[in-house]
Structure 1
Amino acid sequence: MAVNLADFIGCWRVEREIAHGDGSRGRFTGTAEWVSGEEGADYVERGVLEVGGGAFQAERSYRWGPGLDVYFEDGRFFHAVPPEGGEAAHWCDPDQYDVTYDFTRWPEWTARWQVRGPRKDYVMTSRYAPLAG
């Protein structure tokens, strides 16, 4: 299935597992919302991050363009989401971020990030499902 930006608009449940190379684990549970705007959509996720024996409120934001290009809050390009799923990458010196999007069970879908480098080493799998509403 090929997706477009309109397919994401709305509220989603997100559950994320983080497996660090040293064997430690983390978990994020919350919501993600895409809000349509003039030139794309604003993405905001909010929830609880459990890591290192503690639980913290967490939030992050991105800007999605009409062609599924994703930008950081400051406007820098992050990566392009493949409309049919598949791989994308981002180099954040000195670490490499590789993602695989899987839309085969749409509207439930996953994004799996493999992050490697001298500063970071983890796999982060996010599972999304639409919230009724």
Structure 2
Amino acid sequence: MSEALYGVPDVLAYLAGTWQVERTARDVAGDAEGHFSGTTVFTPGDDGGLLHHESGTFTWRGTPRPAERTLRFVPGDDPATAHVLFADGRPFHDLDLRTGRHTADHPCALDLYRGDFEVYDERHWRMRWRVAGPAKDLILTTTYTRPREPLTAARTPSTSPGLPGR
């Protein structure tokens, strides 16, 4: 995408709620590609952060399988930042969306995961992980889209959960 980026003043408020997820997983060395389709739901966690639960179907080489994962997003030093942890509490990466763009690294044994995050607006953001090393050669590209909800008198764009006020 070559769209202008959208700075996020409060990353946990931005992420809270439900997102539709589409992901491609490309094995560069093996010249194969898979696809994940599902949802990610960010709900309040016990630590003042968010619990991220992703579930859906991952199709690899024509075979669909159920897939899910859980992460924890805990508040960073600034509202625009968070520390992302695996479900068991191990650190994954930091996230800073003040400018609408962030790059994070995560070493995994001898492989390196480099994540690029871009926020396009209140309803769209993208995450791209390039995984390189002796064990893996992958590109994982995920788009997140917030489903449109019908507005009611009690729910306007400025009061919808997870969306910054206008």
TM, length-normalised to structure 2 = 0.76
Tell me by how many angstroms 1:107 deviates.
Answer: 2.2
Give yes or no for the alignment of 1:43 onto 2:62: no
Cα separation, 2, equivalents of 1:17 and 1:4: 24
Give yes or no for the alignment of 1:70 onto 2:84: yes
Give yes or no for the alignment of 1:61 onto 2:70: yes
Tell me by how many angstroms 1:19 deviates.
Answer: 1.1
| CA distances 1:37-92 after superposition (whole Å, capped 9, x unpaired) | 23201000000000022000000000100121100111001001122322111001
Cα separation, 2, equivalents of 1:19 and 1:108: 22
Compare the two structures and name the one with the higher strand fraction. Answer: 1
Q: Which residue of 2 aligns with 1:10?
A: 17
User: What is the percentage of aligned positions where both structures have the same residue?
Assistant: 33
TM, length-normalised to structure 1 = 0.94
| CA distances 1:73-130 after superposition (whole Å, capped 9, x unpaired) | 1100100112232211100111100000001334200000000111111100000011
Question: Which residues of structure 2 form unaligned runs of 5+?
Answer: 1-6, 77-81, 150-166
Q: Which residue of 2 aligns with 1:28?
A: 36
Pair member with larger Rg: 2
Aligned structure 1 segments of 4 or more residues deviating by more than 6 angstroms? none
Aligned residue pair count: 133
Q: Which residue of 1 aligns with 2:105?
A: 89
Question: Which residues of structure 1 form unaligned runs of 5+?
Answer: none
Which amino acid letter does the alignment assign opposite residue 109 of structure 1? Answer: W
- Aligned-pair RMSD on alpha carbons? 1.2
